[in-house]
Amino acid sequence: MAKTMREPAVATSGVLRQPTLATMGLGGVLDIFRRGRLPVETGALVDQVFGPAGERGALVISGASGIVGAGKAMQLGARLQPYDIRIAALDFPGAPDGIARQYGGLVGAFGPKGAAAIMQNIVRLSYDGTSLPSELKRMNPRFLLEAIPEILDVKRAHYELFRREFPGIEIRSVTSGFPSKELGVGIAHPAFPHEINKVWEIVEETPSPVTQLFWSLGLIPIEVSDDWSFVLDVLFCGVTHAGLQYHRASNMPLWKVDKYIRKLVGPNPFRAHDAIGAAGANFLTWSCLHHLGERYGDLFRPTALLEERCRTGQTWYPPNHFRPLVDWKMTEADEAEFRAWILGPLFQMTSLMLHEKRGHLSHLNAIGELCAQFRQGILAQMRALGPDAVIATVEAYHRVHPQAAGSAWHPEAFAAMQTPEWRQLYVNAEHDGEAGVVTINRESLSGAVIEELDRAFDWLKAEGVSRVILTGDFHLATQMVGADTSDFYPALSDAEQGRRLSAAWSRTARRLEEDFEVSVGFVNGKRCLGGMLELLAHCHYLVSVGDAGLGFPEVTLPVVPGMEGCHWPFRKSAPEHWPRLLTMLLGGSAVKAKDSVGWLTDYAGPLDDALRTAWAIARGGDHGVKRRLVQSKALTNVPTDVAGLSDHPEPATAAARAAIMECVQRACGAPLAEALDVQATISGAFMASKTCRGGAVGMEYAKTMEV
């Protein structure tokens, strides 16, 4: 199995670091713009994997009634149904019907008709584990997704059975732990919750059509190396293991350990086990840690309590009638020790993954965020601390748990922390010598993303590139949902912190206007909201796929937009469009990009057309799109009222609308040079207000940080 991530397939003059698309053999993002289309076409890949129309084979999901199998039957069923690919859902005759339980979710997502169509395409078959039902042959299986229990011999026999019956069938295992070399098949390990989480860890020799098809269907395949438990379960089982070790050392109840882990890192692993289903999840966690422990020693070896819970399937949280009575509080010294117990093993495990080159660093980082509830990816956390502090944290862990010091500790892996691979976890840049593309692979904008944007802009300028497209990465970020509100937590109690954050982020956004000859914001996903929209709107041009939703939902949180959303779009549009902008800001509803051309976007259309348009603008060709200039003088006669939106019966919304309106009036009424500070001050003040603290951001802060 290739340990080193593959080189990008496209020829570009420069890349800040390897694009993650390249790990799937899909080239770089710049190439997408240059070609004016995506690197692969879904129909062609469907033909390749399942055979051409008329000879289409089926997808078999074995263990289809389980949590993973049923979830993936829905996810893949919904995406493959338009291509007339049948799904054989295979399980034991006595297995509880996990497929039918999914129907409600399908109706919610696709409506009754759509749900029925998807379900009609799924054929449920029973088998006894030793022979396959004859009906299966008639369905011409081309691809087996195996989701049966984590027992190596059983899995191997299962593959043998299929290969005997269907030579040449493509097989992927959803295993969360066994390497491909142990199983003898490729790995497609999906992340929970299986109905909706798009991430799959992929292990294969070279990027396969199956993986590219997954990507083309809108999923997020992530190539990882062929090592025990890959990346996700090292992180998830690892944080669970760390919590169990701390529990043993302190007696702190698991529900409380969970809350402190959530405060420190983001996930609440014990609640997650119970939510997934303790019986299965406990076993999977034990299985991963057991095998990791066998290979790497005490760093991973399961605790006695995990072994007990694996055996009994007991939940980690107490039952409802024994909701916890006695609270636990930590002193500062306790919290310092807790950090060592939790972050120490996580950092050490990460050192192992880095040493083994388990994946592209952006992947290693993103998996924690996308699949394990990490507020910041593990590498981003480590980078923020710096190598010395990371090593000191692991050493502090070794002092309280010396057994872990003996193996799987690779501090030398942090020596590369200053390389672009580490420094650009969220933002990449590519260029061809004339035009560049800056890509964001995080769906929410954070301080770390802002810092990386600045570095990417600096790099492009240093490379002599003055024409740039800013967009998503076409891989890890399938949409742009706005600011990461956890970055606002410090501002909830300090208006100055809010003002500084707002001003700093806005200054980075302004570089798109000021530092480049041409900048194009490109919306490629389903939506672009809030801070992300404010960011992209700073580009000289904003190009979008037509169906994307664009909006300023800040009022619903509520917060006041902090990145100049209250005046910048006004300065770029004619007065007759200002009521529309006000409606967006005060109402919080999104508009379709195709309905916003001329006053918010500059072009919106089908993906390929939008790609070509953006590229033409960036390259300075004949694109026919008129640039809307930013009015630098104070604006006058900005409406002070919008029909139906000037008031609201709910006091928080009314207060937010009033603050946003004040911000619009004052920021628009100031010259451009002063407007940034005006907006930042009002945004910061509102974040520290009682209204904001009582809203979604404040509630999330209280839930997460006030343990």
Residue 472 pairs in a beta bridge with 440
Judged by CB under 8 A, the residue of 164, 329, 626, 633 near another protein is 329
Q: State the binding string over 471-510 for another protein (x if CB under 8 A, else -).
A: ----------------------------------------
CB of 308 to another protein, least distance (A): 7
Residue type, position 506, single letter? S
Of 329 and 626, the one with the shorter C-beta distance to another protein is 329
Of 312 and 418, the one with the shorter C-beta distance to another protein is 312
Judged by CB under 8 A, the residue of 4, 206, 251, 637 near another protein is 251
d(CA 582, CA 552): 10
Stretch of 200-208, 241-249, 435-443, 608-616 contacting another protein, by CB under 8 A: 241-249
CB of 704 to another protein, least distance (A): 14
What is the Cα 638 distance to its own chain's centre? Answer: 38
CB of 327 to another protein, least distance (A): 4
Stretch of 25-33, 326-334, 349-357, 675-683 contacting another protein, by CB under 8 A: 326-334
Of 218 and 318, the one with the shorter C-beta distance to another protein is 318
d(CA 304, CA 288): 15
331 binds another protein (CB under 8 A): no
CB of 703 to another protein, least distance (A): 10
CB of 33 to another protein, least distance (A): 51
- Closest by Cα among 50, 48, 49, 26 to 38: 26
Residue with token string 């956004």: 509
313 binds another protein (CB under 8 A): no
Cα-based angle 367, 368, 371 (whole degrees, multiple of 5): 70
Phi, psi of 170 (to 5 degrees): -80, 130
Of 327 and 332, the one with the shorter C-beta distance to another protein is 327
Stretch of 30-38, 242-250, 491-499, 650-658 contacting another protein, by CB under 8 A: 242-250
Residue type, position 111, single letter? G
Of 79 and 256, the one with the shorter C-beta distance to another protein is 256
Of 252 and 539, the one with the shorter C-beta distance to another protein is 252
Stretch of 22-30, 134-142, 301-309, 587-595 contacting another protein, by CB under 8 A: 301-309
322 binds another protein (CB under 8 A): yes
d(CA 482, CA 502): 13
Of 67 and 707, the one with the shorter C-beta distance to another protein is 707
Using N-to-C axis directions, what is the helix angle for 378-385 and 387-400, rounded to 10°? Answer: 100
Segment holding 319, helix H or strand E: none
Cα-based angle 283, 289, 292 (whole degrees, multiple of 5): 140
Judged by CB under 8 A, the residue of 128, 153, 327, 622 near another protein is 327
d(CA 255, CA 16): 43
CA distances from 663 to 556, 611, 668 (A): 16, 34, 8
Judged by CB under 8 A, the residue of 8, 63, 209, 253 near another protein is 253
d(CA 446, CA 299): 32
Of 250 and 646, the one with the shorter C-beta distance to another protein is 250
325 binds another protein (CB under 8 A): yes
Q: What is the dihedral of CA 253, 254, 256, 259, to 10 degrees?
A: 170
7 binds another protein (CB under 8 A): no
Segment holding 399, helix H or strand E: helix 387-400
Determine whether 333 is exposed, middle or buried from the number of CB atoms within 10 Å of its CB (0-12, 13-18, 19+): exposed
Residues 371, 198: contact at Cβ < 8 Å? Answer: no
CB of 321 to another protein, least distance (A): 9
Of 312 and 493, the one with the shorter C-beta distance to another protein is 312
d(CA 203, CA 184): 11
242 binds another protein (CB under 8 A): no
Strands 199-203 vs 186-190: parallel, antiparallel or unpaired? antiparallel
Determine whether 51 is exposed, middle or buried from the number of CB atoms within 10 Å of its CB (0-12, 13-18, 19+): middle
305 binds another protein (CB under 8 A): yes
Query: In 3-state terms, what secondary structure has residue 192?
Result: coil
Of 247 and 623, the one with the shorter C-beta distance to another protein is 247
Of 11 and 702, the one with the shorter C-beta distance to another protein is 702
CB of 254 to another protein, least distance (A): 7
Judged by CB under 8 A, the residue of 104, 149, 324, 620 near another protein is 324
CB of 315 to another protein, least distance (A): 12
d(CA 590, CA 480): 13
HSE-up (13 A, CA, CB side) for residue 462 = 10
Judged by CB under 8 A, the residue of 252, 548, 593, 672 near another protein is 252
304 binds another protein (CB under 8 A): yes
Stretch of 42-50, 96-104, 325-333, 454-462 contacting another protein, by CB under 8 A: 325-333
d(CA 47, CA 409): 46
308 binds another protein (CB under 8 A): yes
CB of 242 to another protein, least distance (A): 16
Cα-based angle 147, 148, 149 (whole degrees, multiple of 5): 125
- Closest by Cα among 597, 631, 632 to 613: 597
Of 131 and 320, the one with the shorter C-beta distance to another protein is 320
Stretch of 161-169, 300-308, 445-453, 693-701 contacting another protein, by CB under 8 A: 300-308
Residues 238, 345: contact at Cβ < 8 Å? Answer: yes
**How many residues line the site for another protein (CB under 8 A)?**
20
Of 260 and 578, the one with the shorter C-beta distance to another protein is 260
Judged by CB under 8 A, the residue of 45, 219, 254, 638 near another protein is 254
Give yes or no for a cis peptide into 420 (omega within 30° of 0).
Answer: no
d(CA 575, CA 533): 20
Of 570 and 701, the one with the shorter C-beta distance to another protein is 701
d(CA 253, CA 121): 46
Judged by CB under 8 A, the residue of 13, 140, 197, 250 near another protein is 250
Stretch of 36-44, 47-55, 102-110, 322-330 contacting another protein, by CB under 8 A: 322-330
Of 131 and 251, the one with the shorter C-beta distance to another protein is 251
Of 245 and 362, the one with the shorter C-beta distance to another protein is 245
Residues 276, 70: contact at Cβ < 8 Å? Answer: no
Please give the DSSP secondary-structure letter assigned to residue 488.
G
Query: In 3-state terms, what secondary structure has residue 196?
Result: coil
Strand arrangement, sheet containing 527-529: 527-529, 549-551, 591-592
576 binds another protein (CB under 8 A): no
699 binds another protein (CB under 8 A): no
Of 39 and 345, the one with the shorter C-beta distance to another protein is 345
CB of 278 to another protein, least distance (A): 15
d(CA 459, CA 46): 39
Judged by CB under 8 A, the residue of 110, 328, 396, 609 near another protein is 328
Instruction: Tell me which residues touch another protein (CB under 8 A).
Output: 247-254, 304-305, 308, 318, 322-329
